[in-house]
Amino acid sequence: MFRFLKEKLSKLLKKTEKEIEKAAEAEKEKIEKEREKERKVGVIGKIKKIITLTKLNEEVFEKFFSEFEELLIENNVAIEAIDFLHEKLRKELVGKEIERKKVKEALERSLKEALSSLLLEPFDLIEEIKRSEKPYVIVFFGINGVGKTLTIAKIAKLLKKNKITVVLAASDTFRAAAIEQLEKHSNALNIKMIKHKYGADPAAVAFDAIKHAKARNIDCVLIDTAGRMHTKKDLMEEMKKICKVSKPNLKIFVAESVVGNDAIEQAKAFDEAVGIDCIVLTKFDVDEKGGACISIGYVTNKPILFLGTGQSYDDLKPFNKEEIINALFS
Protein backbone atom coordinates (compact mmCIF):
# COMPACT_ATOMS: atom_id res chain seq x y z
CA MET A 1 0.00 0.00 0.00
CA PHE A 2 1.15 3.54 -0.85
CA ARG A 3 4.30 2.02 -2.35
CA PHE A 4 5.05 4.92 -4.69
CA LEU A 5 3.39 7.66 -2.72
CA LYS A 6 5.31 6.95 0.48
CA GLU A 7 8.77 6.99 -1.06
CA LYS A 8 8.20 10.05 -3.21
CA LEU A 9 6.53 11.96 -0.40
CA SER A 10 9.48 11.36 1.85
CA LYS A 11 11.85 12.67 -0.86
CA LEU A 12 9.67 15.72 -1.44
CA LEU A 13 9.63 16.57 2.26
CA LYS A 14 13.43 16.34 2.43
CA LYS A 15 13.78 18.46 -0.69
CA THR A 16 11.41 21.11 0.67
CA GLU A 17 13.33 21.13 3.92
CA LYS A 18 16.53 21.87 2.01
CA GLU A 19 14.84 24.62 0.03
CA ILE A 20 13.51 26.25 3.16
CA GLU A 21 16.97 25.96 4.70
CA LYS A 22 18.50 27.62 1.64
CA ALA A 23 15.99 30.45 1.78
CA ALA A 24 16.66 30.88 5.51
CA GLU A 25 20.45 30.99 4.93
CA ALA A 26 20.00 33.64 2.26
CA GLU A 27 17.81 35.66 4.59
CA LYS A 28 20.35 35.32 7.39
CA GLU A 29 23.19 36.52 5.18
CA LYS A 30 21.11 39.45 4.05
CA ILE A 31 20.39 40.48 7.62
CA GLU A 32 24.02 40.02 8.63
CA LYS A 33 25.10 42.28 5.83
CA GLU A 34 22.53 44.83 6.94
CA ARG A 35 23.84 44.57 10.46
CA GLU A 36 27.40 45.17 9.35
CA LYS A 37 26.25 48.19 7.44
CA GLU A 38 24.00 49.72 10.00
CA ARG A 39 25.35 48.29 13.26
CA LYS A 40 21.97 48.58 14.80
CA VAL A 41 21.41 46.76 18.05
CA GLY A 42 17.84 45.81 17.28
CA VAL A 43 18.89 43.68 14.33
CA ILE A 44 20.75 41.22 16.54
CA GLY A 45 17.47 39.92 17.88
CA LYS A 46 16.26 39.48 14.34
CA ILE A 47 19.30 37.39 13.42
CA LYS A 48 18.99 35.23 16.49
CA LYS A 49 15.45 34.51 15.48
CA ILE A 50 16.37 33.56 11.92
CA ILE A 51 19.11 31.24 13.15
CA THR A 52 16.61 29.17 15.09
CA LEU A 53 13.37 29.93 13.30
CA THR A 54 12.40 30.15 9.67
CA LYS A 55 9.24 31.16 7.87
CA LEU A 56 7.58 29.24 5.09
CA ASN A 57 6.73 31.75 2.42
CA GLU A 58 3.95 31.48 -0.17
CA GLU A 59 6.38 30.73 -3.00
CA VAL A 60 8.09 27.80 -1.25
CA PHE A 61 4.74 26.46 -0.11
CA GLU A 62 3.16 26.57 -3.57
CA LYS A 63 6.23 24.90 -5.06
CA PHE A 64 6.02 22.17 -2.45
CA PHE A 65 2.29 21.76 -2.91
CA SER A 66 2.39 21.55 -6.69
CA GLU A 67 4.80 18.60 -6.42
CA PHE A 68 2.73 17.07 -3.63
CA GLU A 69 -0.37 17.49 -5.77
CA GLU A 70 1.27 15.71 -8.69
CA LEU A 71 2.12 12.82 -6.38
CA LEU A 72 -1.42 12.60 -5.10
CA ILE A 73 -2.91 12.67 -8.60
CA GLU A 74 -0.49 9.97 -9.78
CA ASN A 75 -1.62 7.84 -6.85
CA ASN A 76 -5.36 8.15 -7.45
CA VAL A 77 -6.28 10.80 -4.89
CA ALA A 78 -9.32 12.75 -6.12
CA ILE A 79 -9.05 16.43 -7.03
CA GLU A 80 -11.72 17.50 -4.51
CA ALA A 81 -9.64 15.99 -1.73
CA ILE A 82 -6.47 17.61 -3.05
CA ASP A 83 -8.18 21.02 -3.09
CA PHE A 84 -9.20 20.50 0.52
CA LEU A 85 -5.62 19.66 1.50
CA HIS A 86 -4.28 22.65 -0.42
CA GLU A 87 -6.53 25.12 1.38
CA LYS A 88 -5.99 23.56 4.77
CA LEU A 89 -2.19 23.37 4.45
CA ARG A 90 -1.88 26.85 2.95
CA LYS A 91 -3.72 28.34 5.93
CA GLU A 92 -1.64 26.31 8.34
CA LEU A 93 1.80 26.69 6.81
CA VAL A 94 2.22 29.94 4.90
CA GLY A 95 3.90 32.48 7.13
CA LYS A 96 4.30 29.98 9.94
CA GLU A 97 7.49 30.16 11.95
CA ILE A 98 9.19 26.78 12.06
CA GLU A 99 12.21 25.69 14.02
CA ARG A 100 14.98 25.47 11.47
CA LYS A 101 16.26 22.09 12.43
CA LYS A 102 12.76 20.66 12.46
CA VAL A 103 11.28 21.69 9.14
CA LYS A 104 10.59 18.15 7.92
CA GLU A 105 8.90 17.21 11.18
CA ALA A 106 6.78 20.36 11.08
CA LEU A 107 5.69 19.70 7.50
CA GLU A 108 4.92 16.10 8.35
CA ARG A 109 2.89 17.14 11.36
CA SER A 110 0.80 19.56 9.32
CA LEU A 111 0.27 16.97 6.58
CA LYS A 112 -0.86 14.40 9.12
CA GLU A 113 -3.29 16.87 10.67
CA ALA A 114 -4.70 17.85 7.28
CA LEU A 115 -5.11 14.20 6.28
CA SER A 116 -6.75 13.45 9.58
CA SER A 117 -9.43 16.06 8.99
CA LEU A 118 -9.92 14.73 5.45
CA LEU A 119 -10.55 11.13 6.44
CA LEU A 120 -13.92 10.17 7.90
CA GLU A 121 -14.06 8.11 11.07
CA PRO A 122 -16.02 4.89 10.63
CA PHE A 123 -18.60 3.73 13.16
CA ASP A 124 -18.35 0.43 15.05
CA LEU A 125 -20.52 -2.04 13.13
CA ILE A 126 -20.53 -4.64 15.91
CA GLU A 127 -21.76 -2.10 18.48
CA GLU A 128 -24.30 -0.72 16.03
CA ILE A 129 -25.78 -4.20 15.42
CA LYS A 130 -25.80 -5.06 19.12
CA ARG A 131 -27.72 -1.96 20.09
CA SER A 132 -30.24 -2.17 17.21
CA GLU A 133 -33.49 -4.05 16.98
CA LYS A 134 -33.28 -7.56 15.52
CA PRO A 135 -32.78 -8.43 12.78
CA TYR A 136 -30.24 -5.87 11.60
CA VAL A 137 -30.41 -5.97 7.81
CA ILE A 138 -27.41 -5.15 5.62
CA VAL A 139 -27.54 -5.07 1.85
CA PHE A 140 -24.34 -5.09 -0.21
CA PHE A 141 -24.07 -3.71 -3.68
CA GLY A 142 -21.57 -2.57 -6.28
CA ILE A 143 -20.48 -3.32 -9.81
CA ASN A 144 -19.49 -6.77 -11.07
CA GLY A 145 -16.60 -8.67 -9.55
CA VAL A 146 -15.54 -6.12 -6.94
CA GLY A 147 -15.67 -8.59 -4.07
CA LYS A 148 -19.20 -8.26 -2.65
CA THR A 149 -19.74 -11.96 -2.01
CA LEU A 150 -16.36 -12.55 -0.40
CA THR A 151 -16.80 -9.40 1.72
CA ILE A 152 -20.14 -10.75 2.96
CA ALA A 153 -18.42 -13.99 3.98
CA LYS A 154 -15.66 -12.03 5.75
CA ILE A 155 -18.18 -9.87 7.62
CA ALA A 156 -20.30 -12.93 8.46
CA LYS A 157 -17.25 -14.53 10.04
CA LEU A 158 -16.43 -11.37 11.98
CA LEU A 159 -20.00 -11.12 13.28
CA LYS A 160 -20.06 -14.76 14.28
CA LYS A 161 -16.81 -14.27 16.15
CA ASN A 162 -18.53 -11.45 18.03
CA LYS A 163 -21.46 -13.68 18.98
CA ILE A 164 -23.82 -12.09 16.49
CA THR A 165 -26.00 -14.66 14.73
CA VAL A 166 -26.28 -14.32 10.97
CA VAL A 167 -28.33 -15.52 8.02
CA LEU A 168 -27.25 -14.96 4.41
CA ALA A 169 -29.64 -14.08 1.56
CA ALA A 170 -28.61 -15.30 -1.89
CA SER A 171 -30.24 -12.41 -3.71
CA ASP A 172 -27.90 -12.68 -6.68
CA THR A 173 -30.24 -14.90 -8.66
CA PHE A 174 -28.81 -13.59 -11.90
CA ARG A 175 -25.18 -14.60 -12.39
CA ALA A 176 -24.40 -18.22 -13.13
CA ALA A 177 -23.00 -20.03 -10.07
CA ALA A 178 -23.58 -17.02 -7.79
CA ILE A 179 -25.84 -18.99 -5.45
CA GLU A 180 -23.37 -21.90 -5.20
CA GLN A 181 -20.57 -19.42 -4.52
CA LEU A 182 -22.36 -17.94 -1.51
CA GLU A 183 -23.43 -21.42 -0.46
CA LYS A 184 -19.81 -22.51 -0.34
CA HIS A 185 -19.07 -19.72 2.10
CA SER A 186 -22.21 -20.51 4.08
CA ASN A 187 -21.05 -24.13 4.44
CA ALA A 188 -17.47 -23.21 5.26
CA LEU A 189 -18.59 -20.79 7.96
CA ASN A 190 -21.50 -22.91 9.11
CA ILE A 191 -23.95 -20.06 8.61
CA LYS A 192 -27.48 -20.54 7.26
CA MET A 193 -28.27 -19.24 3.77
CA ILE A 194 -31.70 -18.62 2.22
CA LYS A 195 -31.95 -19.20 -1.52
CA HIS A 196 -34.48 -19.41 -4.34
CA LYS A 197 -33.96 -20.57 -7.91
CA TYR A 198 -31.96 -18.66 -10.53
CA GLY A 199 -34.09 -15.98 -12.15
CA ALA A 200 -36.21 -15.56 -8.99
CA ASP A 201 -36.99 -12.10 -7.63
CA PRO A 202 -33.96 -11.00 -5.52
CA ALA A 203 -36.25 -8.91 -3.30
CA ALA A 204 -38.30 -12.02 -2.50
CA VAL A 205 -35.15 -13.89 -1.41
CA ALA A 206 -34.21 -10.99 0.88
CA PHE A 207 -37.75 -10.92 2.26
CA ASP A 208 -37.62 -14.64 3.04
CA ALA A 209 -34.23 -14.33 4.76
CA ILE A 210 -35.58 -11.55 6.97
CA LYS A 211 -38.67 -13.64 7.75
CA HIS A 212 -36.36 -16.54 8.67
CA ALA A 213 -34.30 -14.26 10.93
CA LYS A 214 -37.41 -12.94 12.68
CA ALA A 215 -38.79 -16.44 13.25
CA ARG A 216 -35.51 -17.68 14.75
CA ASN A 217 -34.43 -14.56 16.59
CA ILE A 218 -31.33 -14.17 14.39
CA ASP A 219 -29.42 -10.91 14.89
CA CYS A 220 -28.34 -10.01 11.40
CA VAL A 221 -29.23 -10.58 7.73
CA LEU A 222 -26.57 -10.12 5.06
CA ILE A 223 -27.99 -9.73 1.55
CA ASP A 224 -25.78 -10.56 -1.42
CA THR A 225 -26.82 -8.91 -4.69
CA ALA A 226 -25.80 -9.27 -8.30
CA GLY A 227 -23.07 -7.02 -9.61
CA ARG A 228 -24.50 -4.19 -11.67
CA MET A 229 -23.16 -1.28 -13.63
CA HIS A 230 -24.48 2.00 -12.29
CA THR A 231 -25.28 2.96 -15.88
CA LYS A 232 -27.87 0.15 -16.26
CA LYS A 233 -31.17 1.73 -15.37
CA ASP A 234 -33.26 -1.44 -15.05
CA LEU A 235 -30.70 -3.06 -12.74
CA MET A 236 -30.62 0.04 -10.57
CA GLU A 237 -34.43 -0.13 -10.40
CA GLU A 238 -34.15 -3.73 -9.22
CA MET A 239 -31.71 -2.55 -6.55
CA LYS A 240 -34.27 0.01 -5.38
CA LYS A 241 -36.88 -2.74 -5.12
CA ILE A 242 -34.56 -4.90 -2.98
CA CYS A 243 -34.09 -1.92 -0.66
CA LYS A 244 -37.80 -1.11 -0.58
CA VAL A 245 -38.72 -4.64 0.40
CA SER A 246 -35.87 -5.36 2.84
CA LYS A 247 -35.74 -1.88 4.45
CA PRO A 248 -32.06 -2.33 5.31
CA ASN A 249 -30.51 -0.76 8.38
CA LEU A 250 -27.34 -0.40 6.37
CA LYS A 251 -26.52 -0.13 2.67
CA ILE A 252 -22.90 -0.99 2.05
CA PHE A 253 -21.30 -0.01 -1.22
CA VAL A 254 -18.44 -2.29 -2.20
CA ALA A 255 -15.74 -1.06 -4.56
CA GLU A 256 -12.22 -2.00 -5.57
CA SER A 257 -9.45 0.17 -4.27
CA VAL A 258 -7.37 -0.52 -7.38
CA VAL A 259 -9.70 1.38 -9.73
CA GLY A 260 -8.99 4.64 -7.93
CA ASN A 261 -11.22 7.53 -8.92
CA ASP A 262 -13.62 5.25 -10.78
CA ALA A 263 -14.64 3.84 -7.41
CA ILE A 264 -15.65 7.36 -6.38
CA GLU A 265 -17.73 7.88 -9.51
CA GLN A 266 -19.47 4.53 -8.92
CA ALA A 267 -20.12 5.39 -5.27
CA LYS A 268 -21.67 8.71 -6.26
CA ALA A 269 -23.94 7.01 -8.84
CA PHE A 270 -25.11 4.30 -6.41
CA ASP A 271 -25.65 6.89 -3.72
CA GLU A 272 -27.83 8.92 -6.04
CA ALA A 273 -29.83 5.86 -7.08
CA VAL A 274 -30.38 4.05 -3.77
CA GLY A 275 -28.48 5.99 -1.12
CA ILE A 276 -25.39 4.41 0.44
CA ASP A 277 -24.42 4.54 4.11
CA CYS A 278 -20.83 3.41 4.00
CA ILE A 279 -18.13 1.81 1.90
CA VAL A 280 -15.97 -1.29 1.87
CA LEU A 281 -12.87 -0.90 -0.29
CA THR A 282 -11.62 -4.28 -1.46
CA LYS A 283 -8.33 -5.46 -2.98
CA PHE A 284 -6.35 -2.99 -0.95
CA ASP A 285 -3.62 -5.63 -0.82
CA VAL A 286 -3.07 -5.41 -4.57
CA ASP A 287 -3.38 -1.64 -4.82
CA GLU A 288 0.09 -0.15 -4.91
CA LYS A 289 -1.26 3.39 -5.08
CA GLY A 290 -3.89 3.43 -2.36
CA GLY A 291 -5.24 6.92 -3.10
CA ALA A 292 -8.90 5.88 -3.27
CA CYS A 293 -8.97 5.26 0.47
CA ILE A 294 -7.70 8.79 1.06
CA SER A 295 -10.40 10.53 -0.93
CA ILE A 296 -13.50 8.36 -1.37
CA GLY A 297 -14.84 9.16 2.10
CA TYR A 298 -14.33 12.90 1.73
CA VAL A 299 -15.83 13.13 -1.77
CA THR A 300 -18.89 10.97 -1.04
CA ASN A 301 -19.19 11.95 2.62
CA LYS A 302 -19.61 8.25 3.49
CA PRO A 303 -17.15 6.53 5.80
CA ILE A 304 -15.07 3.55 4.76
CA LEU A 305 -16.00 0.80 7.19
CA PHE A 306 -13.53 -1.89 6.15
CA LEU A 307 -10.66 -2.51 3.78
CA GLY A 308 -10.45 -5.88 2.03
CA THR A 309 -6.85 -7.00 2.26
CA GLY A 310 -6.79 -10.45 0.68
CA GLN A 311 -8.75 -13.49 -0.33
CA SER A 312 -9.22 -15.28 2.95
CA TYR A 313 -11.99 -14.69 5.47
CA ASP A 314 -9.79 -12.87 7.94
CA ASP A 315 -8.48 -10.40 5.37
CA LEU A 316 -10.80 -7.63 6.48
CA LYS A 317 -9.44 -4.63 8.34
CA PRO A 318 -11.58 -2.03 10.07
CA PHE A 319 -10.69 1.31 8.50
CA ASN A 320 -8.36 3.12 10.84
CA LYS A 321 -7.42 6.74 10.14
CA GLU A 322 -4.26 6.70 12.19
CA GLU A 323 -2.98 3.54 10.55
CA ILE A 324 -3.53 4.94 7.08
CA ILE A 325 -1.80 8.20 7.92
CA ASN A 326 1.11 6.49 9.63
CA ALA A 327 1.54 4.13 6.66
CA LEU A 328 2.21 7.18 4.51
CA PHE A 329 5.07 8.41 6.64
CA SER A 330 6.63 5.19 7.89
Q: Residue numbers of the site for ligand GTP (CB under 6 A)?
A: 144-150, 172, 175, 178, 227, 282-283, 285-286, 308-311, 315
- Distance between CA atoms of 185 and 193, rounded to whole angstroms? 9
CB 225, min distance to Mg ion, A = 8
**What b/e string do you get for 201-221 counting C-beta neighbours within 10 Å, with b at 16 or more?**
ebbbbbbbbbebbeeeebbbb
Q: How many residues bind Mg ion (CB under 5 A)?
A: 2
d(CA 145, CA 149) in angstroms, rounded, equals 9
Contact call for residue 266 and Mg ion (CB under 5 A) = no
Total count of residues recorded for the chain: 330
In this structure, the dihedral spanned by the alpha carbons of residues 65, 66, 70 and 71, taken in order and rounded to 10 degrees, is -30
**CB 90 → ligand GTP: shortest distance, Å?**
36
CA distance 223 to 125: 16
Nearer to ligand GTP, 147 or 202 (CB): 147
Smallest gap, in angstroms, from Cβ of residue 147 to Mg ion?
A: 8
Q: Which residue's CB is nearer to Mg ion, number 94 or number 200?
A: 200
Cβ 230 to ligand GTP, closest distance in Å?
13
**CA angle (52, 55, 60) in 5-degree steps:** 130
Distance between CA 255 and CA 278 in Å, rounded? Answer: 11
Site for Mg ion in 119-158 (CB under 5 A): 148-149
Shortest Å, Cβ 145 to Mg ion: 8
225 binds Mg ion per the rule CB under 5 A: no
Q: How far apart are CA 111 and CA 302, in angstroms?
A: 22
- Residue least distant from Mg ion (Cβ): 149
Q: Is 186 in the site for Mg ion (CB under 5 A)?
A: no
Site string for Mg ion, 82-111 (x = CB under 5 A): ------------------------------
For residues 142 and 146, what is the distance between their CA atoms, to the nearest angstrom?
7
Instruction: Report what 257 binds from Mg ion, ligand GTP, none; CB cut-off 5-8 Å by kind.
Output: none
Q: Which is nearer to Mg ion, 228 or 302 (CB)?
A: 228
Please name the residues in contact with 248: beta carbons below 8 A apart, sequence gap of 6 or more: 137, 138, 139, 223
- Which does residue 31 bind out of ligand GTP, Mg ion, none, counting CB within 5 to 8 angstroms by kind? none
We find the least distance from the C-beta atom of residue 6 to ligand GTP, in angstroms, to be 20
Q: Is the peptide bond before 135 cis (omega within 30 degrees of 0)?
A: yes
Closer Cβ to ligand GTP, 137 or 179, answer by number:
179
* Chain residues in the site for Mg ion (CB under 5 A): 148-149
